[in-house]
């Protein structure tokens, strides 16, 4: 029985030293992806993924490339076993995995772009200190309201990631963030959890990074002519369609919030029966489960989980 399937590609924060090493050793297809990505980017992605050190992997310009390559290595093995998806979606940089899977961008172009995207987002940051917090159990409209009021006072705090209906990540200057945390608790938030990520990603503070990245996007070619896989945009939770201005969408993506909450809703509306997270961590399937405990979720991050899934699929 063929289940209606979605492939999910993780974003920054899912990385871990050692990811992909067993896949590289076991599968020729995975080796090819790591070797090609290293060749295209001029960065030894294998070494960064397999050996670290962690501080090297945590640099934005390396993290994005390392995560994308690991997801694509797993994807390549799935393709060899004719395992396909009807819908693809990623979180932030993960959207590039979805775009490559759907053929909207080529593998080579995807690697080049994500290398430049990581570089721009890691290099062109404002000098101020920023922090991020996850707000649990409060509807996003109330979070937007609180942030708006603080912003009107000349401070900076905004929603950056709408993960699912019960969790929104806010980003801002430390003092503004602290004020927001207190006001959000007063407004009924169950929890406000400070995150390790500190950059003001997916906010207007990355406008300079966006300008630099646009120059890279100008060189790229995109194909939205023959779409066989539905790819959901982070920008607004809608599906890429023929004639979309992909360059503009991916540039805006850097300074606009990630709407994974809308992507989840759309996948439910599309009748998705199994959700497969391709890459390290269980963040995205975790979000899916928060919205629907009964959802059939699968995580593929190493040889064991990959082989288990292939065996089940081929029965």
**What is the set of active-site residues?**
92, 202
Secondary structure element (H or E) that encloses residue 169, with its range: strand 167-173
Specify which residues 170 forms β-bridges with: 133, 159
Distances (CA, A) of 50 to 66, 95, 270, 297: 10, 23, 37, 26
Secondary structure element (H or E) that encloses residue 72, with its range: helix 60-80
Strand locations in 183-296 (E): 191-194, 230-231, 258-259, 274-278
- Torsion angle, alpha carbons of 29, 34, 35, 36, to 10: 90
Q: How many residues does the chain have?
A: 315
With tokens 């945009």, the residue in question is 233
Specify which residues 192 forms β-bridges with: 135
Instruction: Please state the three-class secondary structure of 266-287 as a single string.
Output: HHHHCCCCEEEEECCCCHHHHH
What is the spatial distance between Cα 92 and Cα 111, in angstroms, rounded to a whole number?
Answer: 15
């Amino acid at each position: 029985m063929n289940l209606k399937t979605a492939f999910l590609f993780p974003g920054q924060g899912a990385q871990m030293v050692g990811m992909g090493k067993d896949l590289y050793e076991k599968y020729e297809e995975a080796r090819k992806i790591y070797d090609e990505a290293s060749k295209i980017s001029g960065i030894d992605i294998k070494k960064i993924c397999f050996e670290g050190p962690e501080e090297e992997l945590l640099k934005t310009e390396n993290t994005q490339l390392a995560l994308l390559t690991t997801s694509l290595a797993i994807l390549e093995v799935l393709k060899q076993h004719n395992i396909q998806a009807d819908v693809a979606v990623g979180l932030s940089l993960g959207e590039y995995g979805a775009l490559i899977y759907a053929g909207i961008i080529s593998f080579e172009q995807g690697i080049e772009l994500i290398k430049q995207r990581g570089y721009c987002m890691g290099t062109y940051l404002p000098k101020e200190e920023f922090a991020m917090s996850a707000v649990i159990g409060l509807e996003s409209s109330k979070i937007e309201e609180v942030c708006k009021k603080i912003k009107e006072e000349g401070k900076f705090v905004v929603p950056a990631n709408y993960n699912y209906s019960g969790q929104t990540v806010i980003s801002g200057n430390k003092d503004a963030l602290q004020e927001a945390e207190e006001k959000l608790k007063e407004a009924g938030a169950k929890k406000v959890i400070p995150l390790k990520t500190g950059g003001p990603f997916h906010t207007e503070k990355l406008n300079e990074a966006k300008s630099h990245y646009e120059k890279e996007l100008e060189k790229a070619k995109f194909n939205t002519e023959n779409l066989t896989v539905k790819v959901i945009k982070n920008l607004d939770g809608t599906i890429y369609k023929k004639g979309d201005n992909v360059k503009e969408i991916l540039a805006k993506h850097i300074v606009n919030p990630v709407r994974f909450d809308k992507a989840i809703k759309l996948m439910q509306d599309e009748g998705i029966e199994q959700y497969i997270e391709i890459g390290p961590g269980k963040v995205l399937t975790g979000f899916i489960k928060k919205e629907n405990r009964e959802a059939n979720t699968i995580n593929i991050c190493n040889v064991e989980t990959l082989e288990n899934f292939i065996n089940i699929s081929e029965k």
